[in-house]
Amino acid sequence: MSAVVAEQRNVSQFVHNTLLAARTGDLRTLFSPARVIRSLFAAFYILIELVIISLFKPPVPPRNFKSRARIAVVGAGLTGVSTAAHAIAHGFDVVIYDQNESVGGIWSHVNATSGLQLNSLLYRFHPAVLWSCAFPQRNEILSEIRRVWKEYRLEEHTHLCTRVTSIRRATREEITDVPEDDIDPCQQGHARWIVNDGVDGVFDAVVVTVGTCGEPQWVKFAGMPVMEEVRARRARIQEEASENSQEKGEDKDDSKTDSDADGDSEGRKLSQKTADEGTGDDNQDGETFAGTLLHSSELDDAHLAGKHVVVIGSGASGVEAVETALARGAMDAVMLARQDKWIIPRNIVIDTLVSAQPFGREMPLSFIWEKLITLWNYHGVEDLTPAHLGLFQGTPVVNDEFLEHVRAGRCKYVRGDTQGLTRGGVKISVRGRDSKPGDDGKEEVVGAAQFPADVVVLATGFKKPDIGFLPEDLFPESYERPNLYLQNFATEDWSVLMTNSAYVNAIGTVGHFHIGIYIRILLTFLMDRDARPTPKDMKLWVDVLRFVKRGARGGALGFFTYMELTIWFLLFHLFRLDRLKWMFFIMQGWGVPPEPAEMTEEGSDVHTVKEGRAPISANGLVRDWVKGN
């Protein structure tokens, strides 16, 4: 999105609201100074983004350049596209693999109403990104991912509908031109890699960007209908929605592109595939839930108006499901929470200060932050604050509206363990605030010993993506995810990077400047042998962090803050002074432009002329000119 388009969108929205207020006689809105201030802030917001873009956006490389090395990127989501764009901008050849039909990752599989929890200034996954507002929704996020993908000409480097089934080390026969010590990580070398059947040749490094959210997680409860019946009900709902949209015609949302629709379709396929793994069990009374059963990622076509909605799960997707249900006219909503989670406000100052805690764990004075959050966000519903979970022990939910719904009585928050589904609702064993999941509770009797429900939403998250395609020996005991070097590099070989695919809990953002920093560290290792760590060095880093954070809930790397991550990056340079020369490149992305390819008098790439037009030889070896030799 260009700055002009973003500003035009904001001005159009302001004019639309002004005319609407004038027609309806809403003088309070028409003459509201707050509305004018928000409009001016939106313009200033875009100006700030333009400054960031001018300072840190890497230039698009020429179409022909001398490649320094080849990198395989597994996953074409937000992290994968950003990683590949950074790499190619600095003269590295990339190949992206993704099993889906379009780029976008998890954002292609969520509801259209899903948006950022954090302010978008904290979600600048690439310096070229330009948001139109502070909290964009799914369609705009997908649009920016695809724009970066196209701007850096990554389409020709991407294999969609391609599942990565194996990544192995290249054998000596496949890399005869590489010295022995250059493939030994213990001698500051690194392995070369073959993806799938090796049709794309040899890669110098692999970046796994599959994230931590894969297929929707369908948790089975007693009384759940068989999945064939769930699919049949969903099909009827979608058919009714299609008929209604055809009748309304002009009321359809034109902002939804064909690619967005494809993303929804992919999400539903994934959900159904996961659901096929189980058939659901009837409860002890022989009842089966007769209403609509959905995963929280399937709310786009759901009929929620006038319905009793029960949401099972208290995480970010559960909170969003409650908001969506109430916004669409649900009669009421009930959230069934097995475990309480902290909910912090959508305030960029507070969110930044919380993530700026440098220790990455609960500290003696952490209660001060917890008291402040309670006073700010939980007034009137203090009983909802977690009793056994500190603010710096798990990933909080960032939201302003959910607790207001609870205060107003539009949503009922129930803490307990779900016992199963009945024909007309959900049965739960209710627990008090000081209890823990699994403790004995009491059955909550509402109507027929249940919470009545027309619609049950499983906000049970997503499965963790499988990385079984990587060699098992990359992750020896005690050094598997998340216990990796700098939390993302395999300790056995630094040429395997797991950006945003290894973390468990954190306070920060998965879509910010760390994506660029991690890939530039990898690029530095590829360019400078002296900057590389050995497996012993990387394991020592993990062990030292374990010692410093001993006693931390979930382990040393099971939780961290964004400030702690930034400190790791700074110490990465300070503890190895030979890396200081790379500091501005790694941290800011300045320097290391791509080298233009030498051209012949006829205008062809001289390397291509010398070696043949294909970058991969007949026996599958990458040619020297591709590596930049």
Peptide bond into 58 cis (omega under 30): no
Q: What per-residue confidence (pLDDT) applies to 246?
A: 59
Q: Give the pLDDT confidence score for residue 11 in this predicted structure.
A: 77
Mean pLDDT for 5-29 is 78
Residue (of 330, 339, 314, 338) closest to 403 by Cα position: 314
Cβ-based neighbour number of residue 515 at 10 Å: 24
Q: What is the DSSP string of 448-463?
A: TTSEE-SEEEE---BP
| pLDDT of amino acid 241 | 59
Distance CA(138)–CA(145), nearest Å, equals: 11
Residue of 130, 122, 125, 37 whose CA lies nearest to 79: 125
Residues 145 and 160 in one domain: yes
Q: How confident is the model at residue 274 (pLDDT cuts 50, 70, 90)?
A: very low
Structure tokens at 318: 């559960």
- Give the pLDDT mean for 182-210: 97
3 state DSSP class of 54:
helix
Q: Which two tokens stand for residue 511?
A: 């879509």
Q: What is the pLDDT of residues 325-361, one digit of tens each?
A: 999 999 999 999 999 999 999 999 999 999 999 999 9
Query: Strand, helix or coil at 59?
Result: coil
Closest Cα partner for 299 from 279, 274, 273, 320?
A: 320
**Same structural domain for residues 115 and 204?**
yes
Residue 359 lies in a domain: no
Length, in residues, of the chain: 629
pLDDT at 298 over 60: yes
Residue-level pLDDT at 61: 95
104 and 12 share one domain: no
Identify whether 125 is part of a domain. Answer: yes
- How many independent structural domains does the chain possess? 3
Over residues 201-230, mean pLDDT = 90
Residues 429, 514: one domain?
no
**Cα pseudo-dihedral 32, 35, 41, 42, rounded to 10:** -160
Say what the alpha-carbon torsion angle 435, 437, 442, 444 is, to the nearest 10 degrees. Answer: 110
Q: Tell me which of 19, 36, 54 is where a domain ends.
A: 54
CATH at residue 495: 3.50.50.60
Within a domain: residue 316? yes
Residues 313 and 301 in one domain: yes
Neighbours of 390 (CB within 10 A): 17
Answer whether residue 617 is part of any domain: no
Q: Which segment of 311-320, 381-390, 425-434 scores lowest on mean pLDDT?
A: 425-434
- For residues 595, 601, 603, 605, the Cα torsion angle rounded to the nearest 10 degrees is -50
- Helix (H) / strand (E) element for 401: namely none
- 491: three-class secondary structure by DSSP: coil
State the DSSP code for 492.
T
The answer to whether position 367 is within a domain reads no
* Strands 93-97, 158-159: pairing kind: parallel
Q: Which residue has the higher pLDDT, 554 or 600?
A: 554
User: Are the CB atoms for 74 and 207 separated by under 8 Å?
Assistant: yes
- Asked if residue 276 has pLDDT above 50, the reply is no
346 in any annotated domain: no
Q: Is residue 366 part of a domain?
A: no
Same-domain status, 335 and 443:
yes
Token pair of 39, please?
A: 């409009």
* Stretch 163-177: mean pLDDT: 95
**pLDDT band of 385, cuts 50, 70, 90:** very high
Same domain, 318 and 195: no
Indicate whether 304 and 408 sit together in one domain.
Answer: yes
Report whether pLDDT(123) > 50: yes
Q: Between vectors from CA 237 to CA 231 and to CA 240, what angle results, nearest 5°?
A: 140
Residue type at 532 in one-letter notation: R
Q: Which residue has the higher pLDDT, 240 or 404?
A: 404
Q: Write out the residue range of the structural domain in which residue 11 sits.
A: 3-54
Please tell me whether residues 504 and 402 are part of one structural domain: no
Looking at residue 31, its pLDDT comes to 78
The neighbouring-strand residues paired with 74 are 97, 208
DSSP three-state, residue 580: helix
Task: Note the pLDDT of residue 277.
Answer: 42
Joined together, the tokens standing for residue 509 give 């953002």
User: Across residues 263-272, what is the average pLDDT?
Assistant: 38
* pLDDT on residue 270: 36
Which of 302-311, 425-434, 513-522 is predicted with the least confidence, judged by mean pLDDT? 425-434
User: 21 and 61: one domain?
Assistant: no
Residue 165 lies in a domain: yes
From the number of C-beta atoms within 10 Å of its C-beta (0-12, 13-18, 19+), residue 186 rates as exposed
Exposure string for 446-485, b = 16+ CB within 10 A, e = fewer: eeeebbbbbbbbbbbbbebbebebbbeebbeeebebbbbb
Residues 304, 453 within the same domain = yes
Q: How far apart are CA 85 and CA 60, in angstroms?
A: 9
One domain for residues 565 and 472: yes
pLDDT at position 5:
73
Per-residue confidence band for 362, with pLDDT thresholds at 50, 70 and 90? very high
Pick 18 or 349 by higher pLDDT.
349
Overall average pLDDT of the 453-482 stretch: 95
Which pLDDT value is given to residue 131?
94
* pLDDT reading at 294 higher than 90: yes
Q: What token pair was written down for 494?
A: 């630094």
Across 261-270, 303-312, 566-575, 615-624, least confident range: 261-270
301 — pLDDT class (breaks 50, 70, 90): confident
The phi and psi torsions of 206 (rounded to 5 degrees) equal -130, 130
Say yes or no to pLDDT of 498 above 90. yes
Structure tokens, 517? 């920093």
Helix ranges, 276-428 (H)? 316-327, 348-355, 366-377, 402-407
